[in-house]
Amino acid sequence: MTFLRMYDTFPVEIERARGVYVFDKEGQKYLDTFAGIGVMSLGHSDPGLLETLKAKMDRYMHVSNFFLDEDTLVVSQKLVNFTGKNGTVYFTNSGTEATEAALKAVKKRATAKRTKIVYFENSFHGRTLGSLSINGFKNLREPFEPLIPNTVELKFNDLSELDNFFESFGEETLAVFVEPILGSGGVVPITPEFAKAIEKYKKQYNFILVCDEIQAGLGRTGKIFAYQHYGLSPDIITVAKSLGGGLPLGATIFLENISQAFEKGEHGSTFAPNPVALAGARYVLEKVPALVEDVTKKGEYIIQSLSCKSLSKIKEIRGKGLMIGIELKESEPHLISNALDIGLLLNIVKGKVVRLLPALNISYTEIEEMINKLEVILD
């Protein structure tokens, strides 16, 4: 095989996808519980989104970054407005590239004394050499070390370790990268106490706080950004996944005194921002704000419904909005194939956490179908 296989793929040949369903070439229908790993926030093949993308493609698909597409200004303004602050946006092709832009902006502000960049165990910020340097998955980092120096891994939600670090190295801390809710790390929300401690040390030592909203952002948790649940005040925000409506697009949002992140020529991309992806982003960002209240209610409904069933294989259910982790008591090697047999697409992280990231506009009828199928395989 000439294709370098990086993932274990499902034994399914997709014919088409619509809403929360994927259809294979044999006519089997599968309910998609993770929406392209959080990418298809409006479901597959949303008619309005498709019309928007086609209209842009009829005009042009790519013209280079020597031209300013009108959607660039609209999308960047919407992203900044969602923060309630002043800022600027740098567009990328992916979440990893958004992390790289954040890292470069952070490194540019290092001093002889202030060099340390903090990240947390089980956090995921990307797979490039820069982002790997702050990736909380040891197995992903080690084959490529040495990476960027002066990065420090701390345990997520461990107040004691955080206190000890800042007591010793607060003045040397340049930046802290944090996912308000660990995604690939098992869907683990930051505790209010830990968020409050980060904010306390930010005020004390004036480091740059970077909130990774690549998976949890843009309405996924019932707020536009997940950090807004926890009182965090980021200087930089990274977004991607659902931003382009299914097309590759990410963004790094630089706020207030970090707004002038780069000078001309210090960073750039041939393809970002792609005009068609920008049109998709404009459509998505116009639709998402009206969904966030229902996202909160739907998430609470799913968690409550599953909890009431006291399913034998479940250890814990956690999350915010439609970003839900179902931690199992033990690893279930055949769970994905068992789910496929009953028409359910599952995503499992950290070996035994079922990660639910359904479309934000999933209906209650579809939620009931998902819950019923989960009950079959988890009891």
Percent of the chain with pLDDT over 90: 97
First to last CA, the chain: 39
Task: Give per-residue pLDDT as tens, 132-181.
Answer: 999 999 999 999 999 999 999 999 999 999 999 999 999 999 999 999 99
pLDDT for res 171: 98
d(CA 349, CA 356): 10
CA distances for 9 relative to 136, 166, 222, angstroms: 24, 43, 30
Mean pLDDT of the chain: 97
Domain assignments of the chain as residue spans, ordered by start: 14-46+290-378, 50-289
For residue 378, pLDDT over 80 is answered with: yes
d(CA 343, CA 189): 29
How much is the pTM?
0.97
pLDDT for res 162: 98
d(CA 172, CA 114): 4
pLDDT for res 197: 98
For residue 200, pLDDT over 80 is answered with: yes
Confidence tier at 370 by pLDDT (50, 70, 90): very high
Confidence tier at 3 by pLDDT (50, 70, 90): confident
Question: What mean pLDDT is predicted for residues 228-242?
Answer: 98
For residue 220, pLDDT over 80 is answered with: yes
Task: Give per-residue pLDDT as tens, 94-103.
Answer: 999 999 999 9
Percent of the chain with pLDDT over 70: 100
d(CA 170, CA 186): 29
Confirm if 248 and 210 have CB atoms less than 8 A apart. no
- Topology of domain 14-46+290-378 in CATH is Aspartate Aminotransferase, domain 1 (3.90.1150)
Confidence tier at 209 by pLDDT (50, 70, 90): very high
Question: What mean pLDDT is predicted for residues 341-357?
Answer: 97
Task: Among 3.40.630.10, 3.30.1490.100, 3.40.50.970, 3.40.640.10, name the CATH number for the domain at 50-289.
Answer: 3.40.640.10
For residue 1, pLDDT over 80 is answered with: no
Q: Which residues pair with 19 in a beta bridge?
A: 44
